[in-house]
Structure 1
Amino acid sequence: MIDSYIQMGTFLNNRNSIYSDYEKAIEFFEMGLEVSTTAHILQRASCFEGIGDAGRYLQNVIIATENYAKAELLYRKLENYNKIATCLHRTGDLLLDQKNYTLSKSHYEKALEFYTKEKNWLFVASCLSNIGEIYVLQGRKEDGLHNFNKALALHENHKTDPKHSAFTLFEVGKLYLDSLHIPNRDKYFNKALQIVEQDNLLDGIAYGNILMANLKYNDGEYVEAKNYAKKGLRIALSYGHKIKIRMAYLIASKIYEKMGAYDEALQNYKSYREIDTQVQQKENNEFSAELETKHQVEKQNTILLQTEKEKNIAKNQRNLIIVFLFIFLFLVLILIRYQIKLKKSNKMLFQKKEEIQNMNTSLVKTVNYKNILLKEVHHRVKNNLQIICSILEMQIDSSGNSKLQEKLQTSIDRIFSMALVHEQLYSDGKDETIDAQGYFYDIINSIKSSQKFTNKKILVRLQIEAIHVNLQRALPLGMILNELITNAYKYAFDYQSDGFINVSLKSDGSYVFLDISDNGSGIDLSKARTNSIGLQLAKDFTTQIRGTFTCFVKNGTHYKIAFPMMINTAKIS
């Protein structure tokens, strides 16, 4: 049955037959594929090739390229090099029609390798001629002529079917179309026409007559040119090749114009424009399809290259694959025989799944419990630190030494900034980060409270962005803030009754910037470097978070700290 479908499709695919019907041919090949099995490799390959041919004749690039690629894969399994080359050759023809010269040439060259391996000199010559045509279209006429001559030599040396050399002769003749100094330049056309007319090749006859019309038109022999154009047009119309019909109408309009027959010239030009519009519309509709075709062809080439690499391995594994097939069939029989056991296994798997789900639930509870414990740890650390602060405050109350009281208060402020971190971690944070905005407000409020014994009016102005930092950065950052704000309160306003302190915390996504400044008298940097413990602590904590510390005096003291948003905490000592 499948062979009958292939025969009918092949009969309808004959370009030189009055019974040709390419769309009907596709239907027969598709019916052949429907009744075929995977064992019918050769027949399926023939069906795909036939659909590709029909698509090519219908100028449907997508149908043609996809089916040639499928046929090529099957022919590679059969190691049928001639057919592999044929699929590559015809795909190259399609790409050449689409003016994709690079990809078309690549396909011709691959086909050339397979044809040469099989010593199929007829199609070796055909590929050489096609590549020569590409060279000419790219403006490389010398390379094109070289390929044409190689093709003609192969036709002559191997006595191939003369009709296949006709199109090569046409291409050589086209190179001499405008070269009046070449003796007997139309001999190529005449010889080619003689061959195609002898074998009644409609496509070749139409093409040859249109080319001869161009040749005679260029020579000024308008009557002969008209006869050739009319004959070419008539034959092209008989088998419906729009591109050649368009060529014929165009040259005919030019000829009639030179002959002064303006009505005929206008009529032919209108026909040319009408068919040109149809062709252009088709080309526009297929433009996006061309891009997809290129992608599919490149994808297919990648698959083919991989297939070629795996071919030798596949040869050595054929017997092993047969053994595997028998084992597979045996296993299928076992599976059918023990379906009840399989159901039982599925039930057990379901029970295991429930056990795993229960374990996951238990793990979630464990994690939640550990998080609660971690928060409790932070809570207790915070409480312990507050106890220490309370003890120090009691020491302040019992001490009559003002300097000792001041130092104890400084220690309390430092410990309080650490306690705040742990307070936020157990009270607000869902993870091991804290909100720098709330943290800064709490530290500064604490410092302001501890400095309330001063009778100076000091305004603290804050611009704090909502930035989250982890424990490893929060503690040093709080200590830096504590030391620098405390220093400002203590030393910046010795000679002023009021002033302000500006605190800014911003981020650009990569770095965090902390700026602290006042409008006080400014510190003596030379003495501060050696005498100020607070300033030294601020620098040390900045180093700990991989930051940079800058201090300068201009209408007050300015501190600028910058550190990276993300820090490798494993490297922090």
Structure 2
Amino acid sequence: MAKSLGKILVIFFLSLFQSVGAQVLDTLDENALDVFKDKRNVVERFDYFFNTLYRYNENSAYDWLDEVNVYLNTAEKSGDSTAINNYKLMQSQIYYDLGDYDKSVAIANDLYSIKDKIDLKTKRVMLDLIDNNYSQLKLYGKQVEIRQEKRDLGFSENITFYDIYSNLGLHRKAMEDYIMDMKKTIDNGDLFGLAEYNNNVGRYLLLDKSSSVALSNFKKAKGYVDVYLNDVTQVKTEKELKDAKLLKGIIEGNIGKSYLQLKQFEEALPYLENSIDLIEENNIGLYSEDIIENSLALADCHLQLENFQKAKDILNERLRPLKIEHVIKKNRLLAAYYDKIEDYKNASFYLKKNVRIADSINTNDSSLKKQQLSTVAKYEIENSKRMIDAQKMEMEIARNEMQAKDEQINLVFISLIFTLLGFAGLVYAYLKSIKNQRLIAEQKHIIENSLVEKDSLLKEIHHRVKNNLQMVSSLLSLQTKNTRSKAAIEALEEGKSRVKAMALIHQKLYQNDDLSVIEMQGYIESLVNSVQSVFKKGGHNINITIDAEGVELDIDRAIPFGLILNELVSNTFKYAFPEDDENGKIYIHLRKNGDQGFFEYTDNGVGLSEDSEERVNSSMGVRLMKRLVNQLQSTLNIDKTTEGVRFWFNFK
């Protein structure tokens, strides 16, 4: 009886599995383009088009484009504006899938010009598409504007800048901002999110040529995505599985490229080959820059391993690069291949192609990059200010809620007093004491949490200000490289040194436990080292004595002191020892006693001659120092000594 029952159950489950399997196969066998054509109206076609995972499995993007164009022509003849907008958006998406970003963004921008007439769902798809196109076309200023609109419409909580900074070449800043924004948002149980996070961090490191550290992150990412795919206890949709397999392909490609940078070519090959197969399998019909980059890397590995024919086959058969940097790399690899087989004519041909490409690149590319960096920086500063204002508003709301709760507690407390009047005095006093202790503990806990939040917010503000000042310093460095005037270069270098002095203040503040004051001994040492590193030929044999132990100043006094010291030390390194700085000495003295303070700076250099005194007093550096000393409510004194010069002043 038990055996027959077991057989019945086996037959039942086998038939059930066969039925479900048949349904799955029927779904996979459906032709996506035929299903699209069978939809009753444009709304259903729009939803199906943008939610279909494998659009191009059986029909190419060009087949889809022909069909969408037919529907678009019909809609234009009937004057159906909703249908026209939806079909144009599908048209734009197909061009994007083909890698024709100029045509895609041109169509999407036509729709953007009438955005007020488009519903929110369509508008969201349109803005995402324009955002992606601007990223590919390197129009980062416009990309930030689109992201602002997405935030204002509620499609995203905040504007992110790290991908744009990475595209502009600031990979370290991109990584730091990404880690700061994302690390606190990822749950330890979110395996897919952890894989994506480690892959992105690794990608920024790889772009920054930190191959070994990048490889470690990529291997972590691969571990997470493998566990995610093998976890049978978690039910996954078809889209989630496709996204995970595609991510695994991208991660394995990044591992291969890391090994290539480390010149471990044999180790790179299987990862790059498997990556290309995974991405092609899960990205059918879509143009993929990852496939281009991984194929170029694979060809490079084969060249290094002297598998010349394999490298040539990859370069000829697989690649259709659209980006200039990919075209240049392909030409370089072809030139290397022909050079290896001693076909110098063809090698020269591809090298000349790269020279022509380099010549055709706009000479204003560097200027445009600086302009875009400046524009993005302006938007980030505005966004940071907006975030800080929002946090202040949240703190104000929380404070008001706390006050309201206090008022409610007080009302309850008063009612309890009247209720408990009939009880004995001793019992009443005991209960009141317990109540007061609980209220004090709660309020103390709330206040402590508020102070922690305030400290965190202030540290983040100082960190962002330091980052923004470093960006200004980078912009000044870029400007210095494109300036030929020696006077202009010196002025820009002086400006950069002053910006660094201010950035160092904010760095010290967010690194301190106490955000209200700066310990001056360490700050002066860091500042002197920073200035000294600028002067490659001078300043390294000078004996520098700093006497500021135990002196702490607030930021309003520390910034003028930093700028004054920056001027004094720079002038000493530049002018005080024109012949030899072997016996050079600098003495920096800073003391504070209660409300009174004293500052003194001396060096034993050539000093000030009689005829140069007037010229020195009229120089920008001395005028700047006098103004800064005025901010400290004091007067700068300059004494000529037998050896060198002495600057000093008292301050409050």
TM-score by length of 2: 0.41
Report the structure number with the largest CA radius of gyration.
1
TM-score by length of 1: 0.46
